A and B are shown apart, each in its own frame.
Chain A
Amino acid sequence: MKPAVILLVDDNRMDIELVLLAMAGLEVTYNVQTAHSGYEALDYLFGRSKFANRNQFPLPDIILLDLKMPGLDGYEVLHRIKTTPGLKRLPVIIFTSSQEDRDRANCYDSGANSYVVKPLLLEELQTIMKQIETYWLDLNVGPPKMS
């Protein structure tokens, strides 16, 4: 069975590195793909430019999406995902520093499936990654694959 695919969208390379380090400690291996901007995320999801090869860059099982990114931010990416027929059912977990009520409300209003605040401690990050794995990739029954 192919490993589950996680698309990690974050403009901060150090945050990406920390998430990858935290995930390295998990028992199951995942196919973690990264996009460093909102534009790259959409290129990946639409299979464009350097992500054109679907075998190499398959549609993800879940998306971890940062909110504040230069250019195309997380809100716009979320909006595009949730209004595109082939993508709208993909579970999107907002993964952000923001604890603002306004951000939380806007994200859920725009169709986010979950909202997780990035922790400070590496130990907490590992716990969160483990919980995401347990819930979203193990317990949760995802949408049927779209052709």
Chain B
Amino acid sequence: MMKTAVNVQPEMINSMEAPSHQADLLQHIADAVITTDLDFNINSWNKAAETIYGWPALDVIGKRVGEVIPTVFPYNYQETIINHLFNNQGSWQGQIIQKQWNGREIHISTSVSLLKDSNGHSVGIIAINRPIERKPTAEIRTLTRELDRLNKEIEALSYSISHDLRAPLRAISGFAEIIVRRHWSDLNEETQHFLSNIVEASHHMDHLINDLLTYARLGRRVTQYRPVDLADLLGHIILTLSEQIEKTGAEIELPDTLPTLQTDPFLLTQILTNLIENAIIYHQPNLKPHITLTCQLEVDQVVVGIADNGLGIPPEYHDKIFNIFQRLHHQDDYDGNGIGLCLVKKALDLLSGHISLESIEGNGSIFWIILPLVNGQGSHSNR
């Protein structure tokens, strides 16, 4: 069936209203048949496509296919297709994951081919997509049960950390503070120093517990997409970091226009807060942090750059820094507990995005966040 469909001529597919037998056939087959021009703008969208993806043809004709049905997997879907269509055999078959109108992901078996006119020139692309029933095998069922068990264990552990580890910490910190307040002048210098260490260490442990809990919670959350005004979100983040910004004299430069994205605001806040906070913390001695944020909307993704003039990261650590508890600097020199970038990575995984890094030691860093665009997003607003 797929071979037959590939031979369909574009004029025929474009003329869905013509009472031709072939057009009628395409409208009524069970697979989604989608044709686009060479820039991936949708030309036709049959009834099965309406049913499978939830978008009526009227709403999608003329729009880019990546905007209407974002492909979650493979990430570089369009590059893959272009590579195969134009450089290889002129067609591509495979399994992909796309998003329906409501953001729900569906597994699709797809066959994509070039459409050619009577002179053999490429004029468009046709995709024939069929949802795949994913029946779990016995092995998958066993693994799922094991995963459930591990998830429950992690949940019990984080719940226990939340309650049980905090109580003694509160007592250590609270009573140490009372001694500081009430008896500081009675203590000799050495005892004052030891007591200060207790207070400082207990505050550090509290931060550690909070970040570990946030990390554990991320995995249990259901990702919730909604329109997020990036300018508003960044304004809120900068407000929460205002104490550190003031303390270090940090300058944060934002672009004049920032888009509204269809994303999970909690996860994006985690990502941007941690990256901006790191850019503030790891600054060069005697140099105020200067952070430049950029945002570029592309066909099917948004690229956010966070550049700083800070310490930079040696190349051998470019991958390692995303591991939990990986620190490059001594606690006494720079705050931080080695969880922040791990949180960023996990939040990005949940948003089907990824992160890359350009950095030269001693010359600052640029972190690039790449997020796939979900349908209906990408509008710009002036700040």
A residues engaging B (CB < 8 A)?
12, 14-15, 18, 21, 67-68, 96-101, 118-123, 125
CB distance from B266 to the nearest CB of A (A): 11
User: A14 near B162 (CB under 8 angstroms)?
Assistant: no
Q: For the complex, is B174 an interface residue (Cβ under 8 Å from A)?
A: yes
Known contacts A121-B173, A122-B174, A125-B174, A98 near B203 by CB under 8 Å = no
Proximity string of chain B (248-277) to chain A, C-beta cutoff 8 Å, 1 when within and 0 when not = 000000000000000000000000000000
User: B167 near A120 (CB under 8 angstroms)?
Assistant: no
User: A97 near B177 (CB under 8 angstroms)?
Assistant: no
B residues engaging A (CB < 8 A)?
159, 162-164, 166-167, 169-171, 173-175, 177-178, 181, 202-203, 206, 213, 217
- Bound together, the chains give a CA A15 to CA B169 distance in angstroms of 11
Residues of chain A within 8 A (CB-CB) of B164 are 68
Known contacts A14-B175, A15-B171, A18-B174, A118 near B162 by CB under 8 Å = no
List of 5 A-B pairs having minimum Cβ-Cβ separation, nearest first: A14-B171, A97-B166, A122-B177, A18-B174, A120-B206
Task: Name the residue among A21, A67, A97, A118 with the largest chain B CB count within 10 angstroms.
Answer: A97
- Bound together, the chains give a CA A97 to CA B164 distance in angstroms of 8
Residues of chain B within 8 A (CB-CB) of A98 are 159, 162-163
User: A68 near B163 (CB under 8 angstroms)?
Assistant: yes
Chain B: which residue is nearest A21 at the CB level? B178
Instruction: Name the contact of A18 in the complex, choosing from B163, B171, B202, B206 (C-beta under 8 A).
Output: B171
- Bound together, the chains give a CA A68 to CA B166 distance in angstroms of 12
User: A97 near B163 (CB under 8 angstroms)?
Assistant: yes
Instruction: Name the contact of A120 in the complex, choosing from B169, B181, B213, B217 (C-beta under 8 A).
Output: B169
Residues of chain B within 8 A (CB-CB) of A68 are 163-164
